[in-house]
Chain A
């Protein structure tokens, strides 16, 4: 072991780990073991993982170390461990999407992004917990376990990628992949003090992601630093013929944008603050502490040369109702594949029941309450006589939201807002009230519906808990998100004298 301690390994950035591995200061086995040890010691409390295969992880790490010893040309990510949200299918590795209906299933193939990360030499630590089929904002809808926020273990880690957010924030993975349909990367990143980016829709392959709402689902990075997010994003981006909605464009240059942004020069950048997301007359449901941190972040951007103005996007007021019609409608169709025939659970197949009955019993036992609610709601919104008033109307509102963005891009380069109206709430506080749960997505939904990129970057604490700052950019201008986020991160770290995440142990009941 070099002079780097195990604690350093589990708190440093993935980019720094990659450099230490390349320089021979650390081996992949050392790094992987440090994470596996910490998982063994603390994940019983945190509950970030659904599946960890320590032996397989060490074997992959040994293979990378051996390849490096042989002098093989390895990529910048080689040997760095990683966690994948359990919605990503992984060949031979259990994949459940947080649902009992897929308990014990080992997929026969890798998702494109999993294959790309494997080819890049990353080491899979395990699969992270999530709201069942990515439906939720707290990870409490997981059929398996509770995941706790490392900042305060009585609070939720956000969702649906709450296992990924908790793992990275708690030092149980250097970085992780999440997926975002209505905010499921950005909101958990926000409430755990991480960076989380939802790429432009179509820029990361959806092949092998268990589908929730196909016109919205997108995978992306959840990391400790903006540069890490850019590096991980570059590794999974790019055209994939296996996903017919994949955009045939070159892999975006993002790490360079992050490095440039960290220089702190935003002269000439036009920043729009969205009035409808926590601005004047739209503060209902927003915590004052969140709005204060966001205002401070905007002032920091201004201090670095950005021109700030208010931008009104009136259709954003209807993003929540539109989303909660479109996503359940698509989900009701996507989840029809779980029929107990080809994979997963089958219930009641005793010879006396026909296929329909077995299917209904299987789905009744295999799905949790939120999934059932959304299937029923989606079936209703798509049914004859209601289609135009609900699903059809929601799709038209989607057009209005996209038009608001298009108009805004005439005047500004990026739009900003809080990522979430509140900090992490107490576990259990919203489980019986779907509407309260859905309100957590208020700020993240417009970018989802328009398919544009959006990043959440930490902007300080309110009541001792992290607040996220959202930066949205036009389609395929993901680099702008990274540039502005890196500038903000660098300015805050300089003012604070340390990274926000280093304060994580200061909460009395956080794990040591």
Chain B
């Protein structure tokens, strides 16, 4: 984050930065709208800070499970043509993607 604001605040610049991190090309109008709405939401969710959680472990998952194994059996993968049928662009039996390296790279 560029300039961290006090907890519970969210500036327009921060929303713009977060949108960039999330790969969302948001418009100026959206930035204005979201900054206001997200500040209100953040204010509401910041209430979690009120809980006394000294020595309380976090819960990441409702069902604690580790190292789930299944037999390493070979099964057919999806047919290539069926998968590429759903792709926005395909070429030579592959996904075609826009160039990855920018001008400055």
Contact = CB atoms under 8 A, between A and B. Distances in A.
A binds B: yes
B45 A324 contact: yes
B30 A451 contact: no
Nearest to B83: A108
Interface string B2-33: 00100100100011001111111111001001
B53 A393 contact: yes
Interface of A is mostly: helix
Interface residues of A, number: 77
A399 B78 contact: no
Contacts of A247: 63
Contacts of A286: none
A144 interface: no
Interface in B58-84: 58-63, 65, 68, 70, 78-79, 82-83
Contacts, number: 196
B82 A108 contact: yes
Contact of A358 (B26, B30, B85, B98): B98
A375 B24 contact: yes
Given A364-B25, A434-B40, A108 B34 contact: no
B22 A379 contact: yes
Interface in A444-490: 449-452, 475
B28 to A, nearest CB: 12
A332 interface: yes
A324 B59 contact: no
A452 B62 CA distance: 8
Interface stretch (A6-14, A185-193, A341-349): A341-349
Contacts of B85: 106, 108
A316 to B, nearest CB: 12
Given A346-B88, A372-B24, A393-B48, A245 B41 contact: no
A343 B86 CA distance: 5
Nearest to B14: A380
Contact of B49 (A201, A241, A353, A393): A393
Contacts of B51: 315, 318, 393, 396-397, 400
Contacts of A324: 41, 44-45
Contacts of A361: 25
Contacts of A390: 45-46, 48
Listed residue (B7, B57, B82) with the most chain A CB atoms within 10 angstroms of its CB: B82
Interface string A354-384: 1111111101100101001101110111011
Contacts of A341: 87-88, 95, 97
Contact of A397 (B53, B61, B70, B100): B53
Contacts of A354: 98-102
A376 B20 CA distance: 9
A320 interface: yes
A340 B46 contact: no
A377 B24 CA distance: 13
A318 B78 contact: no
Given A340-B88, A372-B24, 20 more contacts: A106-B86, A108-B79, A108-B86, A241-B70, A318-B50, A341-B95, A341-B97, A342-B83, A342-B86, A349-B98, A354-B101, A356-B23, A363-B24, A364-B24, A372-B30, A377-B41, A395-B58, A399-B53, A435-B41, A438-B44
29 contacts: A108-B82, A109-B78, A318-B48, A318-B51, A320-B44, A324-B44, A325-B45, A341-B88, A341-B95, A342-B83, A345-B88, A360-B24, A364-B26, A367-B24, A373-B37, A376-B34, A377-B41, A380-B14, A383-B1, A389-B7, A393-B53, A394-B45, A395-B59, A398-B58, A399-B57, A435-B41, A438-B44, A451-B62, A475-B63
Sorted from nearest, which 8 A-B pairs have the closest CB atoms? Answer: A451-B62, A395-B58, A346-B88, A396-B53, A360-B25, A364-B25, A398-B59, A241-B70
